[in-house]
Amino acid sequence: MKINEIGEFGFIERLKLCFDNLLQGNQVGIGDDCAVLSANEEEDWLVTTDMLMEEVHFLRQSITPEQLGYKSLAVSLSDIAAMGGTPLGSFLSIAIPVDVDVEYLDAFMKGYHHLSEKYHTPLLGGDTTKSLKHIAINVCVIGRCSKGKARKRNMAKVGDIVCVTGCLGDSAGGLKVLLEELPFTKEHEELVLKHHLPEPRLDEGHFLAGFEAVHALMDISDGIASDLVHILKSSGKSAVINVDALPLSEALKKTAELQKWKTLDLAASGGEDYELLMTVDRRALELVQQHFAEHFGKPLYPIGEITEGEARLTWRKGFRMIDFHPSVFNHFKK
């Protein structure tokens, strides 16, 4: 059997089954945005790690070194945000081809430092080694949250409203702009910047975790068509999503119309938006939305509902169920 036959998440599930029996106490291991470890009587530690591989996660010729440094840390900070936590520090390991200029690495670290400074997350260590061809980057971030308050994927409840913190599909649109070598209009530049400089929603995650009515929470790294299914599988629930409710930016709508892109596919399956995806008790939704809008000056978007049943995601348009099958990202797909 080859890895492409089971995919990334099939492989992860095999690992999870092997190591779950070694978890101690209230530890959370493989299968959530972060591992959760007991720190003391008042706090838990959050630990996450992410790898970015040249030609898989980024194109060196299309992203500046400053942007790459920024994004390398952003994707891991986003995992801390998804648990409602606060980052404490990061570790950076990087494999470097011998032909890379020191000035490139200086610029990379400038971008990494910029985001580190913004969220008070010092670089605490890491490792460097030689690569034979491509740049490979691994970032580990350690964070904290109040004892037992980490928001996990298994917390969704029937009747919860599925919400997101921002527009969907912009990062995927930015990648298409690069791959299709489109000229840089104002809209195209907006989309590319969303792809290269994602904003980890740390403030939003910490704020939302303060509401008992906010149940399951995660970040959108692979698109809601994939990421929401993780919540459904962990929670043992089903969900219905209204495609008319998916928030879309004007830049994406305008570009998709001109380029004949399938906007809904980008919004549902486009990865690397790094907005937050959550389920909220419907009885408290209006209150949570009100406080969120007052605090951040932007809406919290309801897009669907958690229902009974096996882990299955269905789609509707208005009041009518539709046959919609957005692609699901798989690292090992040929």
Q: How far apart are alpha carbons 100 and 135 in whole angstroms?
A: 9
92 neighbors 126 (Cβ within 8 angstroms): yes
Compute the radius of gyration of the chain from its Cα atoms. Answer: 20
What is the pLDDT at residue 332? 44
* Cα dihedral 176, 181, 183, 184 sign: positive
62 neighbors 127 (Cβ within 8 angstroms): no
pLDDT digits (tens, 9 = 90+) for 52-107: 999 989 999 999 999 999 999 999 999 999 999 999 999 999 999 999 999 999 99
Range of the domain at 277: 153-322
- 3-class secondary structure, 244: helix
Task: Name the token pair of 239.
Answer: 């969900």
pLDDT digits (tens, 9 = 90+) for 122-135: 999 999 999 999 99
Looking at residue 200, its amino acid is: P
Residue 308 in domain: yes
CATH code of 54's domain = 3.30.1330.10
Phi, psi dihedral angles at 13 (to 5 degrees) = -65, -35
To which H or E segment does residue 167 belong? none
CATH code of 223's domain = 3.90.650.10
Asked if 118 and 158 sit in the same domain, the reply is: no
Domain count, the chain: 2
Asked if 170 and 306 sit in the same domain, the reply is: yes
What is the pLDDT at residue 14? 73
**Residue found by looking up tokens 């919609």 in the block:** 324
66-70, 273-277, 279-283, 330-334: least confident range: 330-334
Residue where a domain terminates, one of 146, 166, 192: 146
The mean per-residue pLDDT over the stretch 10-34 comes to 71
Asked if 163 and 92 sit in the same domain, the reply is: no
% of the chain with per-residue pLDDT over 90: 84
Residue 14 in domain: no
What is the pLDDT at residue 135? 98
Residue 246 in domain: yes
Higher pLDDT, 333 or 137: 137
Asked if 312 and 254 sit in the same domain, the reply is: yes
89 neighbors 123 (Cβ within 8 angstroms): yes
Q: How confident is the model at residue 28 (pLDDT cuts 50, 70, 90)?
A: confident
Asked if 128 and 187 sit in the same domain, the reply is: no
Asked if 158 and 300 sit in the same domain, the reply is: yes
The mean per-residue pLDDT over the stretch 108-115 comes to 98
What is the pLDDT at residue 7? 67
What is the pLDDT at residue 166? 98
Residue where a domain terminates, one of 127, 146, 165: 146
Residue 225 in domain: yes
Q: How far apart are alpha carbons 44 and 106 in whole angstroms?
A: 34
- Asked if the model's pLDDT at residue 3 lies above 70, the reply is no
Q: How confident is the model at residue 334 (pLDDT cuts 50, 70, 90)?
A: low
Asked if 140 and 158 sit in the same domain, the reply is: no
The mean per-residue pLDDT over the stretch 324-333 comes to 63
The mean per-residue pLDDT over the stretch 9-15 comes to 68
Asked if 162 and 100 sit in the same domain, the reply is: no
Q: How confident is the model at residue 49 (pLDDT cuts 50, 70, 90)?
A: very high
315 neighbors 324 (Cβ within 8 angstroms): yes
94 strand-pairing partners: 128, 137
* Cα dihedral 27, 33, 34, 38 sign: negative
Asked if 195 and 71 sit in the same domain, the reply is: no
| Sheet of strand 43-53: strand arrangement | 35-38, 43-53, 136-146, 86-97, 123-131
Asked if 191 and 105 sit in the same domain, the reply is: no
- Asked if the model's pLDDT at residue 22 lies above 80, the reply is no
Q: How far apart are alpha carbons 167 and 52 in whole angstroms?
A: 23
What is the pLDDT at residue 252? 98
- Asked if the model's pLDDT at residue 331 lies above 70, the reply is no
The mean per-residue pLDDT over the stretch 194-218 comes to 97
The mean per-residue pLDDT over the stretch 105-117 comes to 98
The closest of 68, 32, 34 to 52, measured between CA atoms, is 68
- 3-class secondary structure, 250: helix
Asked if 169 and 193 sit in the same domain, the reply is: yes
Higher pLDDT, 93 or 324: 93
Asked if 192 and 98 sit in the same domain, the reply is: no
% of the chain with per-residue pLDDT over 70: 91
Q: How confident is the model at residue 12 (pLDDT cuts 50, 70, 90)?
A: low
pTM score: 0.92
